[in-house]
């Protein structure tokens, strides 16, 4: 999700003060399903704005709309790193690097976006822009003290 251009675009919209949705279809066939889900969410937002200040990351199974089982509020699962980086050359002779196919699912517990989509549910994950690892604050502070960084240059 950190590398998602869809989520990045939603973050930019949020920074501009707009309610923001990042919608992804988990495949390449049933765009009409993703469109119907998106329209339903937008109608809901227009009737009753969500006042959390959050971005909604929406993942839609690649299924016909009639086969969607419902919607779940989830947390982000995680993957192992991509398997490889693929160097290529653009028409001007510049080297480009493509991130290879996504790695295997690492955390796909029952409350994750992965699990919901795999089971035929639309996943809605509320995201916030602050990526600070608050739980690591004290550890990093203690480490900086122990290695003397910030007291001796």
CATH of the domain at 114: 3.40.1210.10
Please check whether residue 41 lies inside any domain of the structure: yes
Closest CA to 36 of 68, 14, 11, 8: 68
Output 123 or 5, whichever has higher pLDDT: 123
Please check whether residue 36 lies inside any domain of the structure: yes
> 95-147, pLDDT tens digit by residue?
998 776 665 555 557 888 889 999 999 999 998 877 788 899 999 888 888 88
* Distance (Å, whole) CA 152 – CA 119: 55
Place 80 in a pLDDT band, splitting at 50, 70 and 90: very low
Output 70 or 84, whichever has higher pLDDT: 70
Place 43 in a pLDDT band, splitting at 50, 70 and 90: very high
Torsion of CA 37, 103, 4, 117, to 10 degrees: 10
| Total structural domains within the chain | 1
Q: Which pLDDT does position 2 carry in this prediction?
A: 63
Least-confidence region, from 46-55, 58-67, 86-95? 46-55
Helix (H, G, I), strand (E, B) or coil at 62: coil
Whether 48 has a pLDDT exceeding 70, the answer reads yes
What percentage of the chain exceeds 70 in pLDDT?
Answer: 85
Whether 28 has a pLDDT exceeding 90, the answer reads yes
Please check whether residue 11 lies inside any domain of the structure: yes
User: Do 30 and 3 contact (CB within 8 A), yes or no?
Assistant: no
**Residue 52 domain boundaries:** 5-78+107-147
């Amino acid at each position: 999700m950190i590398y998602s251009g869809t989520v990045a675009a939603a973050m930019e919209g949020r920074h501009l003060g707009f309610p923001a949705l990042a919608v992804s279809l988990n495949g390449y066939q049933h765009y009409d399903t993703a469109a119907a889900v998106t329209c339903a969410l937008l109608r809901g937002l227009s009737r009753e704005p969500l006042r959390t200040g959050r971005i909604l990351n929406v993942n839609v199974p690649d299924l016909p709309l009639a086969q969607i089982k419902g919607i779940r509020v989830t947390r982000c699962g995680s993957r192992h790193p991509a398997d490889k980086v693929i160097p290529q050359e653009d028409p001007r002779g510049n080297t480009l690097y493509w991130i290879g196919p996504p790695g295997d699912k690492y955390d796909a517990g029952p409350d994750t976006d992965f699990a919901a989509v795999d089971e035929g549910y639309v996943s809605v994950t509320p995201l916030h822009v602050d990526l600070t690892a608050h739980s690591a604050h004290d550890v990093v502070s203690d480490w900086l003290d122990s290695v003397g960084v910030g007291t001796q240059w």
